[in-house]
Chain A
């Protein structure tokens, strides 16, 4: 995991006492989706909004994109109002469901979004080539998006979010619909983007994904932030310890160490063999199979970050 950014880092997004109330047809309050939340996102960090469905994650994100208007509170993104088109020029957004234009091909989709950012034809061609390589859809550049599996649609959604080389990347459930291999690739990509100095704000209810990639998280429930801090601060159990012994320990050495622990503690310690997590095990098996069979799951990514994304943010 990348280290947490220093406290003095530039603030990329800031919400104070943010409230969003949805109203019914008669303008009566219907749902208080976001309830008085305050948080900051610093430059270069991966910040996670974590919570069950309906906790206010997507509503918060949509307010940060100027798609929904806050009922009250203060919200700034990249030092401007989220409604400002200058703000939007520096933001990339992957929506929760990648509903793009179903009758357009991957290539046409990316050209369309590139044109909205005033990229010229040469820039668009270069970026689209690199992005399609990066997400593993080079072979599907002429296929219409409506024919894609959910995972492929998610990848093309991710590509459109990066076409403008954004400073702030907002990802709503980025791994939703992806197979474990795709999840790992997206997580690696997010980490690589953060290493390049990009700021990433993501929402998810998949705890393992958030734990793997986020520097800091805010846990939302019922529209309120229930806990917030770095992964280290929130997850470390300061009154418990774990001791890892070297792999090459001989049985008699192990026995002596355990005897020593027993004599000091006066109790039997818990001992077991470490396990791989299932994701790690699955990826090893797939990697082995991939060496035997060329194509996997409709997407073959290059595992390299698009080079135009490599420049540090201005």
Chain B
């Protein structure tokens, strides 16, 4: 981070304030050194009281809001928050407030959302043209055709067709949870041609919930990239059967979706690093090498934060050998 040379404006204000305080204290000592009579006592008391009130008010009205605003700016520069920086509790002055609002207008989060969506589309497209993906899928079709006959080829082709159609279609609108789950099931069907019974998918939803919950709106392609991660990074390297579970819970204002797998899990420090990255919204990850990992997670998290705000997003629980839980927090939109 570049450091500007010279005093910042607030540093100068604090310097002048400190000089004033020193002056007042010096004046206090001068008054104490004077011969004391009743009048000076009264003056002294009033003087001390005034200094105490000034110091207290300066602390509550100036120092604390100044520190809070500084902290918000620091968190913004460190990538922890994005939208929060525009909603400071106390702005430095009216002009800085106006400047912030203008800044908010200029950078327009829509552009970032667009960027993020473009990247999601790119990831999806990359999957479609990924030679391994296509090769394995086609290989599956071929094997099935030889062994089973026509019907399974039809089923598989249908699954592929549905999956591609859903993935390529308009990313702008929100999809229903039902559509997203159908896409995930479709994706698992396709993967099952390759992995066979190793891939199992199940949905858990409290019995008391009505079907309306499945009409809740969530950003398109929120679930599939996470299930894909669970299969490729969790279940594929694992011996034996794998299970991906999608748990749905709602509160009056939020939709909580947890995607769990019983795969190989992740090292503790890597989980910590990913959770650290998932705290904020930034597009820096797009520039980074794919090998740093977790791009799909970061992309989904970014889109959620940019569309709905910093308080929503993704959190990971994982340990080597213990599987992974990805908790997605979204606003409940019916």
Q: Do A and B come from one complex?
A: no
Binding site for B on A (CB under 8 A): none
